[in-house]
């Protein structure tokens, strides 16, 4: 008997969840609509405090996160955040 393949829940460009055989490359916060690196220090602090887990989401890549309406994290993706802030923040 072969072990079952690991499945991951990711968010697609339409903002809906789907199951994937590959893990996400970026993490995000559903309620705050932001995404960042999986090793982001701000996300790690929030996860350690316990308040972030319920809204944690994952994305296959950056274009998918952007298409789903999420913005870059100012802490772990400062350059992408500055571009977003100049072009989209109001």
Note whether 26 and 61 are within 8 A (CB). Answer: yes
pLDDT band at 22 (very low <50, low <70, confident <90, very high): very high
**1 CB contacts (<8 Å, ≥6 apart)?**
none
**C-alpha triplet 37, 56, 35: angle, nearest 5°:** 35
Beta strand 17-20 pairing with 71-72: unpaired
Q: Give pTM, 2 decimals.
A: 0.86
pLDDT over 90, % of the chain: 78
């Amino acid at each position: 008997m072969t072990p079952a393949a690991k499945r991951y829940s990711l968010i697609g460009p339409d903002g809906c969840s789907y199951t994937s055989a590959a893990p996400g490359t970026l993490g995000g916060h559903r309620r705050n609509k932001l995404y960042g690196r999986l090793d982001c220090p701000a996300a790690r602090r929030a996860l350690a405090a316990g308040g972030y887990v319920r809204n944690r989401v994952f994305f296959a890549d950056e274009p998918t996160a952007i298409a789903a309406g999420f913005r870059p994290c100012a802490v772990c993706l400062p350059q992408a955040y500055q571009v977003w802030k100049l072009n989209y923040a109001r």
